[in-house]
Amino acid sequence: MSEVKSSQDEEFREYVAARSAALHRAAYLLTGNWATAEDLVQTTLTKTYLAWSRIRTTDSVDAYARRILYNTNASWWRKRSNREKPTEVFEDRADLSRDFTEHGAVRDAMWRHIAALPKRQRAVLVLRYYENRSDAQIAEILGISIGTVKSQASRALAGMRKRLGTPAAALGVAMEPREAA
């Protein structure tokens, strides 16, 4: 019995070593704060560990962990929104800007607007454009339909285009076709 537990613990350690950086990045993009992102990842990994014996042999361990990450963030967000009134949308950008040196001002504005989106729209955009997930993967991770993924992404991008006054191509989506003259 202890050998099985030891083997499972080692598998979990390997999973954490392989995936924790990606979980931290996603958590930061969702929360906009490194300390909160760290807490979110720790909670996610704790919940994943508690279910490890059940999920470790499935193909969806990563989807399970990401679903915990996004659901926990949503839960925390609901609790915070009832009692906290942040003074800035993005409190701590740390070294994120070094990843976006090209077109820095536009990228910074985009990330500020992403941070201000409703939680589900933000999660969809982070999964789609930052993690390059398919709509089906996003639907599985968030526990929503593919149609909801598409509508949330569309609403988020439309709102960002309107607020930023930026052409759709700069947000990674196709431009509207021109009418022939």
Give the best-scoring range by mean pLDDT among 9-13, 112-116, 168-172. Answer: 9-13
The pLDDT value recorded for residue 102 is 52
Cβ–Cβ contacts within 10 Å for residue 75, how many? 12
Phi/psi-derived region of residue 32, left when phi > 0, alpha when psi is between -120 and 50, beta in every other case: left
* CA angle, residues 101, 105, 111, in degrees to nearest 5: 90
Hey, what domains does the chain have and what are their CATH numbers?
2-171 (1.20.140.160)
Average pLDDT over residues 63-73: 91
Angle, helices 34-50/2-31, rounded to nearest 10 degrees: 150
Please state, in angstroms and rounded to a whole number, the distance separating the CA atoms of residues 121 and 108: 18
Q: Is pLDDT at 56 greater than 90 in this prediction?
A: no
pLDDT (tens digit, 9 = 90+) per residue, 114-154? 888 898 999 998 889 888 889 999 998 889 999 999 999 99
Q: Which of 172, 81, 75, 92 is nearest to 125 (CA)?
A: 172
How much is the average pLDDT of 59-87? 76
CA distance 115 to 170: 18
Mean pLDDT of 47-64: 89
Do 12 and 56 meet the contact criterion of CB atoms below 8 Å apart? yes
**Percent of the chain scored above 90 by pLDDT?**
36
Residue 177 pLDDT exceeds 50:
no
Q: Which of 13-17, 106-110, 159-163 has the lowest mean pLDDT?
A: 106-110
